[in-house]
Amino acid sequence: EAQVTQNPRYLITVTGKKLTVTCSQNMNHEYMSWYRQDPGLGLRQIYYSMNVEVTDKGDVPEGYKVSRKEKRNFPLILESPSPNQTSLYFCASSTAGELFFGEGSRLTVL
């Protein structure tokens, strides 16, 4: 089954404790992306990757890092999380057409 898998789905952490949200897709898609969703602000793109070792900033990249060492994986790294990064995060992948989204990762930073 074609899918985008994110982990963890839920996480509560504390300020400054590094964390990684993993994203994996099984569709051999070149394009992958991360979004965050906050009440009243809709979905905002954090980073995207057009292929292995090719990444670029989206609209809200501050405080985040990404890497794309393999085609199937696109982890989102929060080196020093802060409370304003409390949000619902979505990973997505795509080829020439529709975006496939993961089920989301709800992150709370205390």
Closest by CA position to 64, among listed 10, 105, 5: 105
**Minimum Å distance from CB 27 to other proteins?**
13
Q: How far is the CB of 9 from other proteins (least distance, A)?
A: 11
d(CA 1, CA 62): 34
Binding site for other proteins (CB under 8 A): 4, 31, 33, 35, 37, 40-45, 48, 50, 56, 58-59, 88, 90, 92, 95-104, 106
CA distance 102 to 110: 24
| Residues 53 and 68: beta-carbon distance below 8 Å | yes
Which CB sits closer to other proteins, 78 or 91? Answer: 91
Eight-class DSSP state of 73: B
Closest CB to other proteins among residues 48, 75: 48
Minimum Å gap between C-beta 11 and other proteins is: 15
Q: Which is nearer to other proteins, 16 or 73 (CB)?
A: 73
CA–CA distance, 41 with 11 (Å, rounded to integer): 21
Nearer to other proteins, 42 or 69 (CB): 42
Distance of alpha carbon 23 from alpha carbon 69, whole angstroms: 12
In the complex, minimum distance from the CB of residue 26 to other proteins, in angstroms, rounded to a whole number: 15
